[in-house]
Structure 1
Amino acid sequence: MSKDTALDAFCAFFNKLDKTCTGKLYNVYTEDVVFQDPLHRIEGIEALEGYFAALYTHVEECQFTFHHRQRLGDTAFVTWTMTLRHPRLAGGSSYAVQGCSQLIFAPKAANDQGGQAKVRCHRDYFDAGELLYERLPVLGGVIRHLKRRAGT
């Protein structure tokens, strides 16, 4: 744990996130949050709740290991490894994807009674092919072949 309680709370929340607790997103995000990853752009807490609820419907495991955390002012960066298991990806086996999140915290409201600062912008950076496309039965083989030919 770092000395940044808001960033620590965010990381702890994400490791508990599953389909049963998407309604608690308001604990870490503002109502007008903007969430973006290589596959989606979501605006607003209600839309984000729907997105995560759908995303976690069939996920059997999703755990984050957070590595480096750095914050300056209202902006933070966190590197992570996500371990994921989904019955339709990678033959149902667990696999890991590395990424980074940029978080922008909203200023705490003047009438806030000691609560944590909340995230108003969350952008994830990761290889979408590594997360999804390479794990699909037919398409995955094609993408892996192309990556080998390209030397990546």
Structure 2
Amino acid sequence: MMEYLDVLDRCRTELPLAFDRGSPSEAEALARFARFFSDFSPDKVERLVDQTYAPDVWFNDTLKTLQGRDALRSYLKHSAQAVQSCRVEILDTLCNDRGDYYVRWTMVIRFKRFKPGQDTQTIGMSHLRFDRNGLVRLHQDYWDSTAGLFEHIPLLGAAIRAIKRRV
């Protein structure tokens, strides 16, 4: 968590406001982010990662923390190869006066190895900061990875569901 706060503080200092609220640049940056995850696939990651993420991006999806676009490309391609399909729908976006964007979304995943043929749905939010080129410089996800992933893994999923029932 401290790493996230340090990177956030650095981004706020180095990039106070990437663009004006309501500007075409803001709309384009948010549209690129939505397009990147709208139908997540290895090919799409390869085609769009350079148009969506900054070379020095800091990324955390609650499963992995990465620094740099090349590391992110590799991780996201591997993640996309592990699913039959993955769609993210952006529900709404809020921006504060410091240039922080909060994007609320739903994700529908169909895993190749776990519960094949069944869709898994989860909700989440991404905290984004953009650089002056409209590329994502910071991406911190907030989502329930137990419901979105771990509960669907044989044995582990049963244990997690049992723990949740007892809490």
With normalisation by structure 2, the TM-score equals 0.78
- Structure 1, unpaired ranges of 5+: 109-116
Following TM superposition, by how much is the alpha carbon of 1:21 offset from its aligned partner in structure 2, in angstroms? 2.2
Aligned to 1:26: 50
What is the alpha-carbon root mean square deviation over aligned residues? 1.5
Aligned to 1:119: 136
Aligned to 2:94: 70
CA offsets, 1:88-111, max 9 Å, x none?
123441110111000001123xxx
Q: What CA distance in whole angstroms lies between the structure 1 residues aligned with 2:82 and 2:156?
A: 20
**Conserved? CA contact 2:39–2:85, under 8 Å:** no
Q: What CA distance in whole angstroms lies between the structure 1 residues aligned with 2:94 and 2:103?
A: 7
Q: How does 1:1-150 map to 2 (within 5 A)?
A: 3=22, 4-5=26-27, 6-23=29-46, 24-72=48-96, 73-108=98-133, 117-150=134-167
Following TM superposition, by how much is the alpha carbon of 1:144 offset from its aligned partner in structure 2, in angstroms? 0.5
The structure 1 segments of at least 4 consecutive aligned residues displaced by more than 6 Å after TM superposition are none
Q: What CA distance in whole angstroms lies between the structure 2 residues aligned with 1:97 and 1:124?
A: 12
CA offsets, 1:9-30, max 9 Å, x none?
2112221431112222010111
Identical aligned pairs, as a percentage? 31
Q: What CA distance in whole angstroms lies between the structure 2 residues aligned with 1:132 and 1:95?
A: 8
Q: Which moved more, 1:24-33 or 1:7-16?
A: 7-16
**Conserved? CA contact 1:89–1:132, under 8 Å:** no
Residue 91 and residue 60 in structure 1: after superposition, are their counterparts in 2 closer, same or farther (change >3 A)?
Answer: closer
Q: What CA distance in whole angstroms lies between the structure 2 residues aligned with 1:82 and 1:21?
A: 16
- Structure 2, unpaired ranges of 5+: 1-21
What is the number of equivalent residue pairs in this alignment? 140
